[in-house]
């Protein structure tokens, strides 16, 4: 192989790698990204079956029910709207009524089947995205920083 | 009192650096005098840090920071780690580590005097920036306005030996790149010889080794403390530490190309600036609260703005000089298809693409929110299906790269490698066929084992074994790659072949895990110094005489009213059996058991990588 050919081959290889990386990124930013809502932002059109989304808000007071040792029902709310959530598994340690939580999962009719539940990490902290969302809806508790 | 000493010495240290920065060029200090002042300011910064630590040790609640984050009941080790377990303290730790690096750099021999001075002046500038950041927005020495005799306690999740040492080591990695950054900028101004590239190589290897250790400790902590059975979450905090790590790896590899005069200086300088920018970006973006992370820290707006300002100064200043100052022409690279140089170039391209992909995934939610006012989250699936495929050609290349020649494109003993690869593929194929078939599993296992095998073939067919330091230095690149191979095998097995079992159990029940009988003995609650413990006690493999005890449960911390999970892990060399105790109803407990094959290989691989990082420091 001539030197010139070898270098062309290297350049070609680099371009192929770059192109495939760009394609991968473009494909995955469409497919593997989940949208985040607060309960009142969700309308019928978002309730697509099997589309993974995240919902952030507070666990509604007196809504938590333990069905068995590993399955739970609760409502997540931003005071304007609330959504019934079912979850199978182990809830995070910081999960409590009246506290902020983010749930990930899919809609099945009007019930949200959560596959992951994330709770707020410490007493004073709220993920920025929930904070924004709740500020917009006016359900904002001053004691959260 | 200690707070006053700490604050004054911090201010004084910043003052000295200000003086050095302004006068370094006007007065033309003797280098000895200059170095002495640098060391003095470093010691003052450390004094400031240790006064804060002292305040934590004696539980001096007249310090607002101690009051907020400590409690007199806390065990000694967590009082010490409490110093950096909060925003203000961790920033002071950051500054102290910066000082330590300047301190040791001032002892560098065989480097041009002016070069050394210039590097240290840039370090001084960084010290001033971060020092002012601490003084104005995150002062850990504020006086508590009310008189109290008890503190509010440290976040119980952070009360863990792994996490106590995680921040200093991670920061040593991040901040280590400051010295690499300073050297690179100085290199743009005073490009006299290539000597500084060897100095830069040493420091970037040290930083990279620390960063590796820091990241590994963090994920090991996540593995046994967060209680969900995984060790990597693709959380923004993790991504942000991974970016400088990959960029740093690219830097270390491109520094290998420095052989005599043949160097790609411009690229090296670019990478050095990039590494430090990513480090600053990382630490500070997480703390500014711009990113939504499942475990990010509380933040206020003024900090965020200051942080961004520092980031833009560092990055903007760095890249501006980079654009204005052309390094002296160096010889063209000897690119062939495929020799060592071109392999290293391709590796660099891949690593930079991987870094950019992670960066994009991490800041994509911010971009979307600004543009469309929609909030999205980019999680594991995105990163797994972009970053991993991008890295695969790199892994393939890596298995043979160390034996490629610098000059020609001939590979010695190529038949052995081809044969080895074929045999290995058949073995892995048989494994996949008879056991679990999974595409990712197949690719991962083949790659991991191939890297290990090729490196071993390379060592034995190229070098003669001698038990000397020199020998270990020569085979070091292969050893590092064997470490990567082992880690890949561990990562593949533990994520692809993980097995999850759910049980609903009463006390005294027996159940079956992986063919072994397990007894759920009882639930027990005990009172510890600063928490109450609830433990489910299990006996693993009761048919044998030496059955293993496993305890899984929760801790309740009354001071901060928090609960943490404590997973029960039975470590075996080929798998971890991971017990998580869930909720109960009518005395029936939910127990989740995860079987994670070959997790220990990940940590083994990391240790090998760190070992070869250290060995590489010792080699010129």
Does a structural domain hold residue A144? no
Same-domain pairing of A47 and A2: no
Q: Report, in angstroms and rounded to the nearest whole number, the Rg of chain A calculated over CA atoms.
A: 22
Does a structural domain hold residue A54? yes
CA distance B69 to chain A (A): 12
Using a CB–CB cutoff of 8 Å, tell me whether B508 touches chain A. Answer: no
Using a CB–CB cutoff of 8 Å, tell me whether B585 touches chain A. Answer: yes
Using a CB–CB cutoff of 8 Å, tell me whether A35 touches chain B. Answer: yes
CA distance A65 to chain B (A): 11
Rounded to 10 degrees, what is the CA torsion of B325, B330, B332, B333? -100
Same-domain pairing of A27 and A63: no
Can you give the CATH number for the domain in which A69 is found? 2.40.50.140
Question: From CA B292, how far away is CA A129, in angstroms rounded?
Answer: 6
Using a CB–CB cutoff of 8 Å, tell me whether B350 touches chain A. Answer: yes
Strand order in the sheet with B532-540: B510-513, B516-527, B532-540, B548-557, B562-566
Mean pLDDT, chain A, rounded, equals: 77
Give the residues across from A82 on adjacent strands. Answer: A77
Who contacts B65 (Cβ-Cβ below 8 Å, separation ≥6)? Answer: B52, B55, B86, B88, B89, B140, B141, B142
Determine, for residues B563 and A69 on separate chains, whether the beta-carbon distance falls below 8 Å: no
Strand order in the sheet with B499-505: B499-505, B588-597, B575-585, B568-571
Residue to mutate among A71, A122, A130, A137, with most B CBs inside 10 A, is: A122
**Confidence band of A73 (pLDDT split at 50, 70, 90):** very high
Rounded to 10 degrees, what is the CA torsion of B608, B609, B612, B616? -170
Determine, for residues A127 and B381 on separate chains, whether the beta-carbon distance falls below 8 Å: no
Using a CB–CB cutoff of 8 Å, tell me whether B556 touches chain A. Answer: no
To 5 degrees, how large is the angle CA B597–CA B602–CA B604?
Answer: 115
Using a CB–CB cutoff of 8 Å, tell me whether B386 touches chain A. Answer: yes
Same-domain pairing of A114 and A63: yes
Which A-chain residues 75-114 have CB contacts (< 8 A) with chain B? 89-91, 93-94, 102, 104
Same-domain pairing of A89 and A42: yes
Question: From CA B353, how far away is CA B359, in angstroms rounded?
Answer: 10
Same-domain pairing of A2 and A14: yes
The total number of structural domains in chain A stands at 2
Determine, for residues B562 and A93 on separate chains, whether the beta-carbon distance falls below 8 Å: yes
Query: What are the distances in angstroms from CA B554 to CA B277, B327, B562?
Result: 40, 58, 10
Using a CB–CB cutoff of 8 Å, tell me whether B364 touches chain A. Answer: yes
Question: From CA B117, how far away is CA B106, in angstroms rounded?
Answer: 9
Same-domain pairing of A86 and A101: yes
Determine, for residues A66 and B157 on separate chains, whether the beta-carbon distance falls below 8 Å: no
Q: If we measure between CA atoms, which residue out of B199, B202, B203, B197 comes closest to residue B257?
A: B197
Terminal Cα-to-Cα distance of chain B (whole angstroms) = 47
Same-domain pairing of A58 and A94: yes
Using a CB–CB cutoff of 8 Å, tell me whether B304 touches chain A. Answer: no
**In 10 A of CB B597, how many CB atoms?**
20
Q: Tell me: the pLDDT tens digits for B546-584?
A: 788 888 888 888 776 778 888 888 888 888 998 888 888
Same-domain pairing of A55 and A13: no
CA distance B5 to chain A (A): 30
Buried b (16+ CB within 10 A) or exposed e, B423-456: ebeeebeebbeeeeeeeebbbbbbbbbbbbbbbe
Does a structural domain hold residue A14? yes
B510 close to B543: Cβ distance less than 8 angstroms: no
Does a structural domain hold residue A94? yes
Same-domain pairing of A50 and A105: yes
Question: From CA B396, how far away is CA B443, in angstroms rounded?
Answer: 11
Who contacts A23 (Cβ-Cβ below 8 Å, separation ≥6)? Answer: none
- Pairing between strand A53-59 and A33-37? parallel
Does a structural domain hold residue A78? yes
Question: From CA B617, how far away is CA B188, in angstroms rounded?
Answer: 23
Question: What token pair was written down for B599?
Answer: 């997790």
B189 close to B269: Cβ distance less than 8 angstroms: no
B94 close to B175: Cβ distance less than 8 angstroms: yes
Helices (H), ranges, B327-475: 340-372, 380-400, 414-434, 439-462, 469-474
The helix/strand/coil state of B78 is helix
The helix/strand/coil state of B593 is strand
Using a CB–CB cutoff of 8 Å, tell me whether B346 touches chain A. Answer: yes
B276 close to B341: Cβ distance less than 8 angstroms: no
Does a structural domain hold residue A110? yes
B420 close to B453: Cβ distance less than 8 angstroms: yes
CA distance B299 to chain A (A): 8
Who contacts B370 (Cβ-Cβ below 8 Å, separation ≥6)? Answer: none
The whole-number pLDDT of residue B372 equals 82
Using a CB–CB cutoff of 8 Å, tell me whether A2 touches chain B. Answer: no
Does a structural domain hold residue A20? yes
Q: If we measure between CA atoms, which residue out of B89, B233, B223, B224 comes closest to residue B154?
A: B89
Question: From CA B84, how far away is CA B69, in angstroms rounded?
Answer: 10
Does a structural domain hold residue A142? no
The whole-number pLDDT of residue B138 equals 84
Its pTM stands at 0.89
Comparing alpha-carbon positions, the chain B residue that sits nearest to A26 is: B386
CA distance A145 to chain B (A): 7
Terminal Cα-to-Cα distance of chain A (whole angstroms) = 66
Q: If we measure between CA atoms, which residue out of B436, B411, B281, B430 comes closest to residue B356?
A: B281
Residues of B within 8 A of A26 (CB-CB) are none
B364 close to A31: Cβ distance less than 8 angstroms: no
The whole-number pLDDT of residue B557 equals 80
User: Where do we find the tokens 């002071």?
Assistant: B92
Using a CB–CB cutoff of 8 Å, tell me whether B393 touches chain A. Answer: yes
Determine, for residues A118 and B294 on separate chains, whether the beta-carbon distance falls below 8 Å: yes
Same-domain pairing of A66 and A105: yes
Same-domain pairing of A78 and A53: yes
Question: From CA B174, how far away is CA B90, in angstroms rounded?
Answer: 13
Task: Determine the structural domain holding residue A2 and report its residue range.
Answer: 1-33
Give Cα B455 distance to the centre of its chain. Answer: 25
Question: From CA B63, how far away is CA B145, in angstroms rounded?
Answer: 9
Helix axis angle, B265-288 relative to B340-372, nearest 10°? 30
**Percent of chain A scoring above 90 in pLDDT:** 7
| CA-CA-CA-CA torsion sign (B597, B602, B603, B608) | positive
Question: From CA B394, how far away is CA B396, in angstroms rounded?
Answer: 5
Using a CB–CB cutoff of 8 Å, tell me whether A124 touches chain B. Answer: yes
Residues of B within 8 A of A36 (CB-CB) are 374-377
Question: From CA B361, how far away is CA A32, in angstroms rounded?
Answer: 10
Question: From CA B588, how far away is CA B586, in angstroms rounded?
Answer: 5
Determine, for residues A25 and B583 on separate chains, whether the beta-carbon distance falls below 8 Å: no
Comparing alpha-carbon positions, the chain A residue that sits nearest to B556 is: A93
Residue A139: pLDDT over 50: no
Determine, for residues A90 and B592 on separate chains, whether the beta-carbon distance falls below 8 Å: yes
Judged by phi (left if over 0) then psi (alpha if -120 to 50, else beta), residue B515 lies in: left
B100 close to B210: Cβ distance less than 8 angstroms: no
Q: How many CA atoms lie within 13 A of A138 on its CB side?
A: 3
Same-domain pairing of A17 and A55: no
Which A-chain residues 39-58 have CB contacts (< 8 A) with chain B? 54
User: Where do we find the tokens 């078939």?
Assistant: B437
Determine, for residues A25 and B357 on separate chains, whether the beta-carbon distance falls below 8 Å: yes
Question: From CA A132, how far away is CA A139, in angstroms rounded?
Answer: 10
**Chain A / chain B CB contacts < 8 angstroms:** 147
**Confidence band of A140 (pLDDT split at 50, 70, 90):** very low
Within chain B, which residues score under 50 in pLDDT? Answer: 293-298
Q: If we measure between CA atoms, which residue out of B141, B94, B467 comes closest to residue B284?
A: B94
The backbone torsions φ and ψ at residue B456, rounded to the nearest 5 degrees and listed phi first, read -65, -45
B192: preceding bond cis by omega (within 30 degrees): no
If you average pLDDT over residues A81-91, what whole number do you get? 89
Q: Tell me: the pLDDT tens digits for A9-34?
A: 888 888 998 899 889 888 888 778 88
Q: If we measure between CA atoms, which residue out of B105, B98, B114, B96 comes closest to residue B45?
A: B96
CA distance B379 to chain A (A): 7
Q: What is the ipTM of this complex?
A: 0.77
């Amino acid at each position: 192989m001539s030197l010139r050919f070898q270098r062309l081959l290297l350049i070609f290889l680099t371009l192929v790698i770059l192109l495939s990386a760009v394609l991968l990124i473009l494909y995955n930013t469409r497919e593997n990204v989940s949208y985040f809502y607060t309960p009142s932002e969700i309308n019928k059109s978002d309730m697509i079956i099997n589309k993974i989304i995240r919902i952030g808000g507070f666990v509604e007071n007196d809504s938590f029910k333990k069905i068995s040792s590993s399955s739970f029902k609760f409502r997540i709310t931003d005071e304007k709207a609330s959504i019934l959530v079912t979850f199978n598994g182990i809830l995070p340690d910081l999960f409590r009524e009246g506290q902020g939580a983010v749930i990930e999962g899919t809609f099945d009719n009007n019930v949200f089947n959560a596959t992951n539940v994330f709770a707020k990490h410490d007493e004073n902290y709220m993920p920025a995205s929930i904070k924004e969302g709740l500020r917009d809806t006016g359900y904002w508790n001053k004691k959260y920083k | 009192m200690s707070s006053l000493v700490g604050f004054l010495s911090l201010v004084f240290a910043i003052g000295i650096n200000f003086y050095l920065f302004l006068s370094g060029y006007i007065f033309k200090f003797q280098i000895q005098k200059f170095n002495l002042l640098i060391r003095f300011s470093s010691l003052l910064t450390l004094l400031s840090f240790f006064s804060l630590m002292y305040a934590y040790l004696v539980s001096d609640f007249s310090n607002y920071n101690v009051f907020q984050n400590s409690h007199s009941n806390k065990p000694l080790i967590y009082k010490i780690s409490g110093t950096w377990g909060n925003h203000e303290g961790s920033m002071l730790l950051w500054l102290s580590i910066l000082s330590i690096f300047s301190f040791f750099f001032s002892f560098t021999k065989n480097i041009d005097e002016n070069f050394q001075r210039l590097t240290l002046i840039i370090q001084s500038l960084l010290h001033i920036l971060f020092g002012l950041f601490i003084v104005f927005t995150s002062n850990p020495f504020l006086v508590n306005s009310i008189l109290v005799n008890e503190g509010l306690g440290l976040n119980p999740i952070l009360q863990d030996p792994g996490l106590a040492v995680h921040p200093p080591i991670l920061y040593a990695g991040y901040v280590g790149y400051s010295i690499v950054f300073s050297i690179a900028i100085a290199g743009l101004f005073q490009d006299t010889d290539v000597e500084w590239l060897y100095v830069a190589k040493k420091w970037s290897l040290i930083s990279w080794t620390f960063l590796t250790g820091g990241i590994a400790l963090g994920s090991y902590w996540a593995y046994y403390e967060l209680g969900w059975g995984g060790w990597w979450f693709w959380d923004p905090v993790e991504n942000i530490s991974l970016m400088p790590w990959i960029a740093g790896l690219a830097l270390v590899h491109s520094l290998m190309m420095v052989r005599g005069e043949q160097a790609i200086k411009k690229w090296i300088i670019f990478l050095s600036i990039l590494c430090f920018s990513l480090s600053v970006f990382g630490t500070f973006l997480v703390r500014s609260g711009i990113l939504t992370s499942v475990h990010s820290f509380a933040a206020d707006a003024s900090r965020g703005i200051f942080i961004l300002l520092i980031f833009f100064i560092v990055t903007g200043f760095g890249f501006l000089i980079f654009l204005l100052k052309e390094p002296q022409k160096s010889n063209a690279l000897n690119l062939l298809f495929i020799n060592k140089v071109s392999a290293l170039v391709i590796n660099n391209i891949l690593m930079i693409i991987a870094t950019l992909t992670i960066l994009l995934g991490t800041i994509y939610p911010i971009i979307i929110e600004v543009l469309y006012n929609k909030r999205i989250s980019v999680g594991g699936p995105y990163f797994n299906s972009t970053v991993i495929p991008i890295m695969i050609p790199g892994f393939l290349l890596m298995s043979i790269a160390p034996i490629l020649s610098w000059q020609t494109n001939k590979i010695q003993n190529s038949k052995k490698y081809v044969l080895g690869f074929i045999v290995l593929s058949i073995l892995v194929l048989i494994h996949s066929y008879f056991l679990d078939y999974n595409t990712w599993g197949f690719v991962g296992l083949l790659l991991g084992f191939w890297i290990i095998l090729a490196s071993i073939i390379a060592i034995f067919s190229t070098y003669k074994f001698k038990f000397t330091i020199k020998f270990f230095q020569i085979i070091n690149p292969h050893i590092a790659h064997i470490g990567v191979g082992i880690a890949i095998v561990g990562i593949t097995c533990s994520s692809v072949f993980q097995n999850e079992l759910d049980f609903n159990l009463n006390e005294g029940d027996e159940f079956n895990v992986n063919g072994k009988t397990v007894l759920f003995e009882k639930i027990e609650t005990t009172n510890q110094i600063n928490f109450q413990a609830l433990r489910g006690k299990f006996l693993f493999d009761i048919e044998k005489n030496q059955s293993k005890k496993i305890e899984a449960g929760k801790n309740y911390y009354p001071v901060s009213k928090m609960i943490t999970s404590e997973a029960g892990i039975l470590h075996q060399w080929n798998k971890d059996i991971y017990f998580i105790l869930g909720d109960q109803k009518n005395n029936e407990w939910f127990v989740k058991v995860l079987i994670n094959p070959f997790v220990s290989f990940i940590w083994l691989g990391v240790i090998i990588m760190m070992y070869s990082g250290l060995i590489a420091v010792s080699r010129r």
